[in-house]
C-alpha cells in the first residue's frame, strides 16, 4: 500500500472502533426494536411475525393517549423550569463575575452534582419533602398548615421537581458556553448607542444565546421523554410516563408491545428535536 | 471598585438559592447518616455517631453491596479505558474533514439524545433474539459506552481543536513515523485532558442507572442495587450508603480536576 492511499484511509481506520461501538450497541438494537415491534406475543414469549396489532392496540387505547399527554406535561414543565433557572444562573456567571478563577469555581459548583448518582439525588428529597419531612415540620411549626402537606412527595409535583434537579445541568452547560462566546465589544457598542440594559439583553444577548438554549432544550426534552426512574421513585401511583409504561410492559415480558411503544416514542422525540432545530440554527455552536 | 447595580444582588441571591436547591437535599442525607443508633429516616437527628456508616458494611442491613461496588468499579474502569481509546482515535481522525465525517458525528450525538429506555430495551431485545444472556460486563458494558463515548468524543474534539499541529509536523519532518509521533509528541501533550476525560467517563459509568437497568443480567451494579434497597431498607443505612458513594464520586471528580491542573501546568513549562 502506498503512503498516499494510507493517508486517505487513515481517518476511516481511526473512527472504526467508535463506529463499531455505536453500530453494535445503538443502531443494531434500535433496528431490532423496529423489527420486534411487528412480532407477536403469545402470553410468555415473542414469535417472529408481521402484524400491526401492537401499533393498533396503542393507537386505539385511551391509556396510551393519556400517558403521552402526561409525558408532554412533564416535558413542558421541566423544560420551562430548567430554562427559567439556567438562563439567569449562566447570565450571572458569564456577565457579573469578572474574576476568571471564581467564575470557573462557581460553574463547577453548578455541575458537580451531575456526576453523582441520580438515585441518591432522588432519595435525598425524602427527608425534606416527606410527610414528616423538614419542610412539613417547618410549615406546621409556623402554623401555615394544620396537617402535613402530602403532595410534596409521590406526586406530579415531586416528579417535576426531581427532574429539574437532575437535568438542569444539561441546560446550564450549553447556555453558559454560548454566553461566554459572546464578543463583549458588541455589548459595549450597544450600550454606547444608548441601549438600556434590558434592550441589550433582548436584542444582543438573547439572539446570540439561542443556539445554547436550543442544545439545552434538545437534551432536556429527550431526557424527559424517555424518563421512567424519576417517575417511579418520586411519582405517585397515578404518575404515568411513556418510559414507565414501556418498562412495565417489559416487566411482563410483552416485548413486541414495548417495542412498538418505543418506536412511537423515538418518532415523537425526533419530531420534537427537528422542531427545535427548525426554530434555531445550532450549527455555529458545533 | 464601582458600586454594583441592584441586578447584581438579585441575580446573586437567585444563584445562592439555586446552589441551595442543588446541594440542600444532599446535605440532609449526609446529616441523617451521622445519627445515633436510634436514628430514623426523618429529622430531628437522633444523636450523633458513625454507627450507620459502619452498618453499611453489615450484610444483614443493606444486602451485599460490596460485591455490587466491586462490579461497578471494574465496569467503570473498563468503560473508561474503552471510551478514552476509541474517542482519542476518533478525535485524531476528526482533525481533518473526511467524507462521511458528518454521518459519524451525528451518529455519536444521537447516542446521547436517544431516550435511555430505548437503549436498555433495544440491547435487551437484541441479546434475547441472539440468545445470549445479558450480563453487566457484556450488555451492561455496551449500554454504558453509548452514554460515555459521546461525552468523551465531544471533549476530545475540543482538545484537538486547540492543539497546535506544528509539533507533530516537526516530528514528521525529522522522520518520525505516525505511531512514534503520536506516542512521543501528541500523547504527552494531551495526557492531562485524557486523565480528565477518563475520570469523567468513569463516574458517568459508576453512577449510570437507566441504560443499564434492563440489561445487567443476574448480578446488579451498585446503582441498581441501591435502587432495589429504596423499597426494602427503611433505616438510615440507606442514607449512609448514599453518603459514601456520593463522597466516592466527589473524590473521583476532585482527583480528575487536580491531576488535570497538575499536568496542564507541567505541560506549559
Q: Is residue A161 in a domain?
A: yes
A233: nearest CB among B105, B230, B242: B230
The number of folded domains in chain A is 1
Q: Residue A134 above 70 pLDDT?
A: yes
pLDDT score recorded for residue B241? 85
Residues B237 and B51: their CA atoms lie apart, in Å, by 9
The mean pLDDT value for A46-70 works out to 88
pLDDT score recorded for residue A2? 57
Residues B175 and B5: their CA atoms lie apart, in Å, by 60
HEC readout, B197-228: HHHHHHHHHHHCCCCCCCCCCCCCCHHHHHHH
pLDDT score recorded for residue A5? 74
Q: Residue B90 above 90 pLDDT?
A: yes
Residues A190 and A206: their CA atoms lie apart, in Å, by 13
Residues A158 and A233: their CA atoms lie apart, in Å, by 9
pLDDT tier, B238 (very low <50, low <70, confident <90, very high otherwise): confident
Q: Which residues of A touch B121 (CB under 8 A)?
A: 29, 33, 246, 250, 258-259, 262
* Residue the block writes with cell 441589550: A200
For chain B, the straight-line distance linking the first and the last C-alpha, in angstroms and rounded, comes to: 34
User: Are A255 and B128 in contact, with CB atoms under 8 Å apart?
Assistant: yes
Q: What is the tens place of the pLDDT at every residue in A206-237?
A: 998 999 999 999 999 999 998 888 898 888 77
Q: Is residue A39 in a domain?
A: no
pLDDT tier, B269 (very low <50, low <70, confident <90, very high otherwise): low
pLDDT score recorded for residue A171? 94
Q: Residue A1 above 60 pLDDT?
A: no
Q: What is the tens place of the pLDDT at every residue in A12-44?
A: 999 999 999 999 999 999 999 999 999 988 877
Q: Is residue A136 in a domain?
A: yes
From the candidates A22, A26, A231, A250, which should be mutated to test the interface with B, based on the most B CB atoms within 10 A?
Answer: A26
Q: Residue B188 above 90 pLDDT?
A: no
pLDDT tier, A284 (very low <50, low <70, confident <90, very high otherwise): low
Mean pLDDT (chain A, rounded) = 88
pLDDT score recorded for residue B205? 92
pLDDT score recorded for residue B81? 96
Give the CATH number of the domain where residue A163 resides: 1.10.3720.10
Q: Is residue A116 in a domain?
A: yes
The mean pLDDT value for B228-255 works out to 83
Check residue B236 and report its DSSP letter.
Answer: T
User: CB-based contact (8 Å) between B227 and chain A?
Assistant: yes
How many other CB atoms are found less than 10 A from the CB of residue A158? Answer: 23
DSSP readout, A33-92? HHHHTTSEE-SSSEE-----HHHHHHHH-HHHHHHHHHHHHHHHHHHHHHHHHHHHHHHH
Q: Is residue A41 in a domain?
A: no
Partners of A46 in beta bridges:
A41
Range of the domain at A118: 62-285
Q: Which residues of A touch B137 (CB under 8 A)?
A: none
Q: What percent of chain A has pLDDT over 90?
A: 43
Does ipTM surpass 0.90 in this model?
A: no
User: CA angle B148-A70-A165, nearest 5°?
Assistant: 45
pLDDT score recorded for residue A176? 93
User: Taking CB atoms and an 8 Å limit, are A17 and B111 in contact across chains?
Assistant: no
pLDDT score recorded for residue B1? 47
B116: nearest CB among A21, A134, A226: A226
User: CB-based contact (8 Å) between B26 and chain A?
Assistant: yes
Partners of A41 in beta bridges:
A46
**Sign of the alpha-carbon torsion through B132, B135, B138, B144:** positive
pLDDT score recorded for residue B268? 64
Q: Which domains does chain B have, with CATH numbers?
A: 63-232 (1.10.3720.10)
Least Cα separation, residue A173 to chain B (angstroms): 13
Q: Is residue A23 in a domain?
A: no
Closest CA in chain B for residue A124: B25
Q: What is the tens place of the pLDDT at every residue in B34-66?
A: 887 777 777 777 778 787 787 777 766 556 778
- Taking the CA atoms of residue A244, residue B242, residue A25 and residue A229 in that order, the dihedral angle to the nearest 10 degrees is 10
Q: Which residues of A touch B146 (CB under 8 A)?
A: 21-22, 25-26
Q: Is residue A43 in a domain?
A: no
Q: Is residue A50 in a domain?
A: no
Residues B26 and B21: their CA atoms lie apart, in Å, by 9
pLDDT score recorded for residue B2? 58
Amino acid at each position: 500500500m502506498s503512503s498516499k492511499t494510507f493517508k486517505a484511509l487513515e481517518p476511516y481506520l481511526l473512527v472504526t472502533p467508535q463506529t463499531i461501538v455505536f453500530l453494535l450497541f445503538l443502531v443494531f438494537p434500535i433496528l431490532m426494536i423496529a423489527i420486534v415491534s411487528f412480532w407477536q406475543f403469545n402470553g410468555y414469549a415473542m414469535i417472529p411475525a408481521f402484524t400491526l396489532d401492537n401499533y393498533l392496540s396503542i393507537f386505539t387505547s385511551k391509556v396510551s393517549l393519556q400517558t403521552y399527554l402526561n409525558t408532554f406535561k412533564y416535558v413542558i414543565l421541566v423544560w420551562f423550569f430548567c430554562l427559567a433557572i439556567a438562563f439567569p444562573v449562566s447570565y450571572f456567571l458569564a456577565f457579573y463575575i469578572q474574576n476568571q478563577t471564581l467564575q470557573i469555581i462557581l460553574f463547577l459548583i453548578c455541575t458537580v452534582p451531575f456526576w453523582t448518582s441520580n438515585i441518591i439525588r432522588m432519595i435525598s428529597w425524602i427527608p425534606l419533602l416527606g410527610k414528616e419531612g423538614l419542610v412539613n415540620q417547618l410549615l406546621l411549626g409556623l402554623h401555615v398548615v394544620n396537617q402535613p402537606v402530602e403532595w410534596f412527595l409521590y406526586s406530579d409535583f415531586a416528579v417535576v421537581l426531581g427532574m429539574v434537579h437532575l437535568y438542569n445541568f444539561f441546560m446550564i452547560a450549553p447556555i453558559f458556553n454560548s454566553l461566554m462566546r459572546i464578543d463583549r465589544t458588541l455589548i459595549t457598542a450597544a450600550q454606547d448607542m444608548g441601549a438600556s440594559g434590558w434592550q441589550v439583553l433582548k436584542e444582543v444577548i438573547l439572539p446570540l444565546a439561542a443556539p445554547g438554549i436550543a442544545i439545552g432544550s434538545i437534551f432536556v426534552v429527550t431526557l424527559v421523554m424517555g424518563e421512567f426512574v424519576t417517575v417511579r421513585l418520586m411519582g405517585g401511583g397515578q404518575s404515568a410516563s411513556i418510559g414507565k409504561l414501556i418498562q412495565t410492559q417489559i416487566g411482563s415480558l410483552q416485548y413486541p408491545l414495548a417495542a412498538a411503544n418505543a418506536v412511537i416514542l423515538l418518532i415523537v422525540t425526533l419530531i420534537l428535536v427537528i422542531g427545535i432545530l427548525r426554530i434555531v440554527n445550532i450549527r455555529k455552536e458545533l | 471598585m464601582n458600586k454594583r447595580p441592584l441586578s447584581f444582588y438579585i441575580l446573586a441571591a437567585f444563584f445562592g438559592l439555586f446552589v441551595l436547591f442543588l446541594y440542600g437535599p444532599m446535605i440532609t442525607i449526609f446529616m441523617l447518616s451521622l445519627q445515633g443508633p436510634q436514628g430514623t429516616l426523618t429529622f430531628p437527628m437522633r444523636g450523633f455517631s458513625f454507627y450507620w456508616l459502619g452498618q453499611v458494611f453489615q450484610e444483614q442491613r443493606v444486602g451485599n453491596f460490596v460485591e455490587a461496588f466491586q462490579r461497578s468499579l471494574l465496569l467503570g474502569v473498563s468503560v473508561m479505558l474503552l471510551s478514552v481509546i476509541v474517542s482519542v482515535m476518533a478525535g485524531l481522525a476528526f482533525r481533518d474533514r473526511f467524507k462521511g465525517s458528518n454521518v459519524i458525528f451525528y451518529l455519536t450525538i444521537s447516542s446521547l439524545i436517544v431516550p435511555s429506555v430505548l437503549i436498555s430495551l433495544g440491547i435487551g431485545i437484541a441479546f434475547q433474539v441472539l440468545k445470549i444472556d445479558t450480563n453487566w460486563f457484556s450488555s451492561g458494558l455496551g449500554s454504558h459506552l453509548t452514554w460515555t463515548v459521546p461525552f468523551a468524543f465531544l471533549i476530545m474534539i475540543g482538545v484537538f481543536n486547540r492543539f497546535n499541529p506544528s509539533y507533530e509536523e516537526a516530528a514528521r519532518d525529522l522522520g518520525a513515523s505516525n505511531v512514534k509521533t503520536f506516542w512521543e509528541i501528541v500523547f504527552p501533550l494531551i495526557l492531562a485532558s485524557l486523565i480528565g476525560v477518563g475520570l469523567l467517563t468513569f463516574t458517568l459509568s459508576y453512577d449510570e442507572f437507566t441504560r443499564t437497568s434492563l440489561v445487567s443480567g443476574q448480578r446488579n451494579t451498585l446503582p441498581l442495587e441501591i435502587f432495589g434497597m429504596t423499597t426494602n431498607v427503611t433505616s438510615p443505612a440507606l442514607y449512609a450508603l448514599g453518603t459514601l458513594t456520593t463522597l466516592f464520586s466527589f473524590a473521583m471528580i476532585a482527583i480528575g480536576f487536580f491531576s488535570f491542573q497538575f499536568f496542564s501546568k507541567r505541560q506549559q513549562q
